Structure 1
């Protein structure tokens, strides 16, 4: 391996190490209470090292969000989609649930953790990433409306309703509120998907004749 290639690989490894440390502390201590020095101490480097890779703490948060939403978008896309839109809607919801179930810390960072995103220099880019994921759902709901489902509702309202349902399920899981059912981990995931199936069945039951 050439020296330049090795240095580039080492830079990428350091960036990942810094981002993982930042994510850990943001979730444990909160964004406001986490400092660059805290992050540096966790990875046993000087604060100056972090500034070689990221402008400030806000830049770290932005990069974490960017990676998280890119991963979510990839997870939501089915390379072999079903023919009917309503079946694709069920599949997308299950994929969303599985993503949050498998990446609880990432999901917490994206949608649950309090952070002053409106104050960040690149807040518009963060919201753009979120809207790209929401647009995947919105276009699918539009197809469902063409099949006769949810046609009595505005597109964005119907899409928000679907997202709110799956978000509520996974947030209950992230906050350990589903432990009340006494399921093991596999049982919890199954319960979440069965609950979403009930939701989809409710939509199917309102199909326009």
Structure 2
């Protein structure tokens, strides 16, 4: 291995060390309460070392979000695999709900926390793009077979995603308690909601 290759590997290892620590602290202590100094102390480096890789905490948040979206798309690729696009759409919805229920703090970082305004969006504008593309392609397949009521795939994706997000975010923010649902039955109730919604958009 050459010097440049070794340096790139070491750079990648350091960035992973930093982002792993940042994700852990964002989830355990909350984004607002976590500082670059806290993160540096947890990995036993100086804050200056972190600033060599990330300009501030906001940029670190975007990197943590990128990794979280990779986890979500991996879940889609594992659990939403049916050759039938309608079945796959249902699998996606249930996978999305399951991901949110199992990772509420992470989901909050991905979708609910207000995004920082001082980050170069051109660097991070692909966060979540692969996840959205997975949904969009599935809907396009459904529409190519004239299975859904929608005419525009982007409009379809917006509505389907909003429905899935609504279920997860209502639960994460404890707003579904008003329905007096047993927590042990929550997954089943939300999965049924996914199926009912998909039934309502089938031609």
> Do the two structures share a fold, i.e. TM-score over 0.5?
yes
1:134 aligned residue? 132
Partner of 1:144: 142
Contact 2:86–2:142, Cα closer than 8 Å, also in 1: yes
| CA contact 1:21–1:42 (8 Å) conserved in 2 | no
Measured in 2, the distance between the counterparts of 1:184 and 1:190 equals 10
Q: How far apart in 2 are the matches of 1:35 and 1:140?
A: 40
* 1:120 corresponds to 2:119: yes
2:69 matched to which residue of 1? 69
Residue in structure 2 matching 1:20, options 8, 20, 24: 24
Q: May I ask how many residue pairs the two structures share in their alignment?
A: 194
Indicate if the aligned counterparts of 2:80 and 2:92 stay in contact, CA closer than 8 A: no
**What's the CA shift for 1:49?**
5.1
Shift, 1:108, TM fit: 0.6
CA distance, structure 1, for counterparts of residue 124 and residue 143 of structure 2 = 29
Residue deviations 1:71-119 (CA, integer Å, cap 9, x gap): 11111124673232111111111111111111111111111001225x3
Aligned residues of 2:19 and 2:63 also touching (Cα < 8 A)? no
> Which residue of structure 2 lines up, in the alignment, with residue 201 of structure 1?
199
Alignment of 1:57 onto 2:57: yes
Q: CA RMSD in A?
A: 2.9
The yes-or-no answer on 1:163 pairing with 2:161 is yes
Mapped partners of 2:142, 2:123: distance in 1: 29
1:188 aligns to 2:186 (yes or no): yes
Q: Distance in 1 between matches of 2:37 and 2:168?
A: 32
Structure 1 unaligned segments of length 5 or more: list them: none
Partner deviation per Cα, 1:143-189 (whole Å, 9 max, x = no partner)? 11122233542110011110000000000011011122333333111
SS at match of 1:116: coil
Structure 1 residue 57: deviation in Å? 1.3
